[in-house]
Amino acid sequence: MEEQIRHILKALGEDPDREGLVKTPYRVTQALTFLTQGYQQDPAKVINDAVFTEDYEEMIVQRDIDFYSLCEHHLLPFFGKAHVAYIPHHKIVGISKLARLVDVYARRLQVQERLTNQIANIIMEKLDPLGVAVVIEAEHLCMRMRGVEKQNSMIITSTLLGAFRTRQETRQEFMTLIRQKN
């Protein structure tokens, strides 16, 4: 990968051997490896070691989960907050696992729509809850730095499954909880 980065620097008109760029191919390789580490992680394993039987069937919400990802179209960052909820059906998951799932999928080349679906679908698949809801609010540097250059645009996506899709009051409770400020 480092040699390819050197070629990119040359194609941009730069000298990859100048002092400020000599270590850039190494640094970019390290950064991209870190930013795409989600490919090396199995989301099912993130959940499997922390599923517990519990007689609880009320909504569980983890909101304001910070994340960073790379747009697969431009390799530019997008970042924001994910809000994840589920209604257990005799199975709960350790609370840190929801945030870890967001990271596993965010640390891949992504589009926000797929990221939202992947998080919701793995929770539905592994916990078999009564419902799952995921809302992601993100800023995309490909929208701010290039193209239309809209500095204050925010993209919001949602995936609603089970009770969150079929029951208006459940959906509304979730939306109210994620909009509450501390």
Query: How far apart, in whole angstroms, are the C-alpha atoms of residue 153 and residue 151?
Result: 6
8-state DSSP, 146: S
Please write the tens of the pLDDT for every residue from 53-74.
999 999 999 999 999 999 999 9
| Residue 60 CB neighbour total at 10 angstroms | 15
- Helix or strand (DSSP H, E) at 68: strand 60-71
Q: Give the domain 42-179 fold.
A: GTP Cyclohydrolase I, domain 2 (3.30.1130)
Domain residues of the chain, as ranges? 2-35, 42-179
Rounded to an integer, what distance in angstroms lies between the CA atom of residue 84 and that of residue 98?
7
Is the pLDDT reported for residue 182 higher than 80?
no
Q: How large is the average pLDDT for residues 116-124?
A: 98
Q: What are phi and psi of 154, to 5 degrees?
A: -130, 135
- For residue 62, the cross-strand partners are 84
Res. 133: pLDDT tops 80? yes
> Among all residues, which ones are annotated catalytic?
71-74, 112, 140, 142
